[in-house]
Amino acid sequence: MKILVHELGAEEFARQVEEEFAHFVTLGTDFPQAEYDRIAAYFAPPPFETGLSGEIDRSDPAFALWVDRQVAAHKAPGYAIANISLKPIGGIPGDISAEQMDLVADLAERYSFDELRATHAQNLVLPHVRKSDLYAVWQALDEAGLADVNLDLVSDIIACPGLDYCSLANARSIPVAQKLAERFADIDRQRDLGELKIKISGCINACGHHHAGHIGILGVDRKGTENYQLLLGGSGAEDTTPAKITGPGFDEDGVVDAVERAIERYRAVREPGERFLDTYRRVGMEPFKEAIYG
């Protein structure tokens, strides 16, 4: 597809799509409103209770920390969205044991209208939790080792299965994620760094979306050994940008060091309130290159 767009040019490609679409409409392939309604009914919001309290009892400080990082606002009054981190320091990103999954399923059944979602960031979401139930949910998660407080922080790393599991891989992803998370394990340091999305792919297929990471790592094969390219400045959010390669690649430990040097440079030059990505956009690649390659 990208080759076709390149050959035709975006405008001509769009013109041909429009032309084909106009033809398509004449074929009567559109379904009627009744079918639309039938399908939409499956996605009706659950029967939210009204008159619930909007208060969260934050007297347990560990719980309050979790609420601040993992819980998001819900459109229905009295409800909240609870993000479950599957990124314990040193763990495999996105992994969950059968016992933990059973527990999460129970929580979904009991507290979230039987609904549980998996995110592209390799975490889970209980989408409709009563605020008054959050403490009970957190206690259960905490007991099961599922109450990490690192959503969107530097240790909330997306990593593809890589060479450990994937037959297409050039390099391993998981050990790099584990080493990075261990390097930045200190939660105060993580919170100080703020939102920072690291994404790792074990080959150019980009299942880890490294090209959309604030910091991206791409495993390549260099003469039969694993090598890692480092990329900066990507975003998969509303302000999409593709990340750019910093320069020559690294071995496994080298890339972890290089990430740390880039992050330290960010800390040195950031302005108040700036995320890593914002600073990169303001100052450009050069200062980071200098920090990384010396």
Partner 1 sequence: MAENPLRFRDDQQADEPAVSLGAFLEQANANSVRIEAGDDVRLLIPALDRVRLVEIDFPRFRDGRGFSSARILREAGYTGELKATGDVLLDLLAFMRRCGFDSFAPDSPIDPAEAELAFNRYPHVYQHAADPPDSPWAVPIWKLRHA
Q: Which residues bind partner 1 (CB under 8 A)?
A: 23, 27-29, 31-32, 34-35, 38
Contacted by 207, from partner 1, ligand SF4, none: CB < 5 to 8 Å by type? ligand SF4
Which residues, listed in sequence order, are joined to residue 215 by a DSSP beta bridge? 198, 232
166 binds ligand SF4 (CB under 6 A): yes
Binding part of the chain for ligand SF4, among 58-66, 131-139, 162-170, 261-269 by CB under 6 A, reads 162-170
Considering only residues 52, 65, 103, 206, which one is a binding residue for ligand SF4 as defined by CB under 6 A?
A: 206
Q: Tell me the C-alpha distance between 177 and 89, whole Å.
A: 9
Q: Tell me the C-alpha distance between 222 and 116, whole Å.
A: 41
234 binds ligand SF4 (CB under 6 A): no
Shortest distance (Å) from residue 38 CB to partner 1 = 7
220 binds ligand SF4 (CB under 6 A): no
22: Cβ–Cβ under 8 A, 6 or more apart, which residues?
none
Which of 94/233 has CB closer to ligand SF4?
Answer: 94
95 binds ligand SF4 (CB under 6 A): no
Q: Tell me the C-alpha distance between 267 and 274, whole Å.
A: 10
* DSSP reduced 3-state for 227: strand
Q: Tell me the C-alpha distance between 147 and 134, whole Å.
A: 12
Q: Tell me the C-alpha distance between 216 and 211, whole Å.
A: 6
169 binds ligand SF4 (CB under 6 A): yes
Token couple for 178 = 């584990």
Residue carrying structure tokens 């790792």: 200
Shortest distance (Å) from residue 153 CB to partner 1 = 43
Contacted by 34, from partner 1, ligand SF4, none: CB < 5 to 8 Å by type? partner 1
203 binds ligand SF4 (CB under 6 A): yes
Which of 30/49 has CB closer to partner 1?
Answer: 30
Q: Tell me the C-alpha distance between 28 and 141, whole Å.
A: 51
Considering only residues 93, 162, 213, 216, which one is a binding residue for ligand SF4 as defined by CB under 6 A?
A: 162
* DSSP reduced 3-state for 218: strand
Binding part of the chain for ligand SF4, among 25-33, 154-162, 222-230, 253-261 by CB under 6 A, reads 154-162
Kind of pairing, strands 117-118 and 79-84? Answer: unpaired
Where in the chain does DSSP place strands (E)? 71-73, 79-84, 117-118, 124-130, 158-159, 198-201, 215-222, 225-232, 244-245
Contacted by 124, from ligand SF4, partner 1, none: CB < 5 to 8 Å by type? none
Burial (CB count within 10 angstroms: exposed 0-12, middle 13-18, buried 19+), residue 30: exposed
Which of 112/173 has CB closer to ligand SF4?
Answer: 173
227 binds ligand SF4 (CB under 6 A): no
Q: Tell me the C-alpha distance between 201 and 170, whole Å.
A: 9
Which of 62/168 has CB closer to partner 1?
Answer: 168
Total chain residues near ligand SF4 (CB under 6 A): 13
What residues make contact with ligand SF4 under the rule CB under 6 A? 160-162, 166, 168-169, 201-203, 205-208
